[in-house]
Amino acid sequence: MRRKFVAGNWKMHGSLAANEALLRALLAGLGNGYAAEVCVCAPFPYLAQCASLLAGSRIAWGAQNASQHDHGAYTGEVSAAMLREFGCRHVIVGHSERRALYGETDGLVAEKVSAVLAQSLVPILCVGERLEERESGVAEQVIGHQLDAVLSHCGIGAFAGLVVAYEPVWAIGTGRTATPEQAQAVHAFIRGRIAAHDAAIAQALVIQYGGSVKPGNAAQLFAQPDIDGGLIGGASLVAEDFIEIVRAAA
Ligand code: PEP
């Protein structure tokens, strides 16, 4: 039985004061009355704040990116080893915003997955198609390539240590969510692609859905057999919404 996993992607939002209010509201509102695994992925400067405020709680904290390198002359980069020092458990890798705005290729994403796994952290590997790719019928081909890049660079064993987030690019931050049926179809495709290499790893693989998940649509999405929780952007910044989404992942 796979666990449900709900992660918040704060993106480049927050401040010391706003984060403290949000985290305290999550701690108070969630208490222990929820079944899912929960994580918040904060901007780098706020990881120490997350570590301090969330210490001893069931809420994990993570980062939104990591370098493919361990250390060296890479100005502005942050390594997985550094993240580990802050008690990070998860690292989002290959988010569509990084692919689109910072030129991250399938190959680079695969190198980052490898660097994160080498530090015993859990990559949240984002995959997903753009609207024009869906409309021209190549969504599965695109997602297949994204997965294959990681399979060929890291091997099937990597999928025993990572989480996949299926995030159709056209649904991120747009208010336009994939229907539960659309999302389920792609989740089943992803699981099938991994099962072709190792059925047991595929069966245990946690696959989150991301893209305009809100309290009103979370339960229906999470009820699909291959949807194991969500990667939540905008709604993770609103304590009551994130709490409701976590509760929907029972
Ligand atoms: C995301 O940033 O990963 C995301 C899914 O954003 P939103 O929930 O705002 O669509």
| CATH number for the domain that contains residue 112 | 3.20.20.70
CA distance 203 to 125: 17
Domain carrying residue 235 = 5-249
CA distance 62 to 184: 26
Q: Are 60 and 89 within 8 A, CB to CB?
A: yes
Is 167 marked active-site?
yes
**For residue 171, which atom of ligand 1 is closest to its CA?**
10
Q: How far is CA 246 from CA 34, 126, 216, in A?
A: 7, 20, 12
Ligand 1 pocket member 234 (CB < 6 A): yes
The pLDDT of residue 157 is 98
Ligand 1 pocket member 167 (CB < 6 A): yes
Q: How far apart are the first and last CA of the chain?
A: 13
CA distance 24 to 21: 5
Tokens at 174, concatenated: 């747009």
Catalytic-role residue among 37, 104, 129, 167: 167
Is 13 marked active-site?
no
Ligand 1 pocket member 232 (CB < 6 A): yes
Confidence check: pLDDT of 82 > 90: yes
The pLDDT of residue 9 is 98
Ligand 1 pocket member 94 (CB < 6 A): no
Distance from residue 175's CA to the centre of ligand 1 (Å): 9
Confidence check: pLDDT of 88 > 90: yes
Ligand 1 pocket member 208 (CB < 6 A): no
The pLDDT of residue 8 is 98
Confidence check: pLDDT of 250 > 90: no
Alpha helices in the chain (DSSP H): 16-30, 47-54, 80-85, 96-101, 106-118, 131-135, 139-154, 180-195, 199-204, 215-222, 239-248
The pLDDT of residue 1 is 80
**For residue 126, which atom of ligand 1 is closest to its CA?**
3
Ligand 1 pocket member 210 (CB < 6 A): yes
Q: Which residue out of 98, 212, 238 has the highest number of ligand 1 atoms within 8 Å of its CB and is therefore the one to mutate?
A: 212
Share of the chain above pLDDT 90, in %: 97
The pLDDT of residue 32 is 87
Distance from residue 211's CA to the centre of ligand 1 (Å): 5
The pLDDT of residue 33 is 84
Catalytic-role residue among 95, 97, 104, 133: 95
What number is the average pLDDT over the span 91-119?
98
The pLDDT of residue 19 is 98
Quote the number of domains for the chain.
1
Confidence check: pLDDT of 66 > 90: yes
Query: How do residues 167-214 score in pLDDT, each as one tens digit?
Result: 999 999 998 999 999 999 999 999 999 999 999 999 999 999 999 999
Query: How do residues 122-156 score in pLDDT, each as one tens digit?
Result: 999 999 999 999 999 999 999 999 999 999 999 99
Q: Are 50 and 19 within 8 A, CB to CB?
A: yes
pTM above 0.85, yes or no: yes
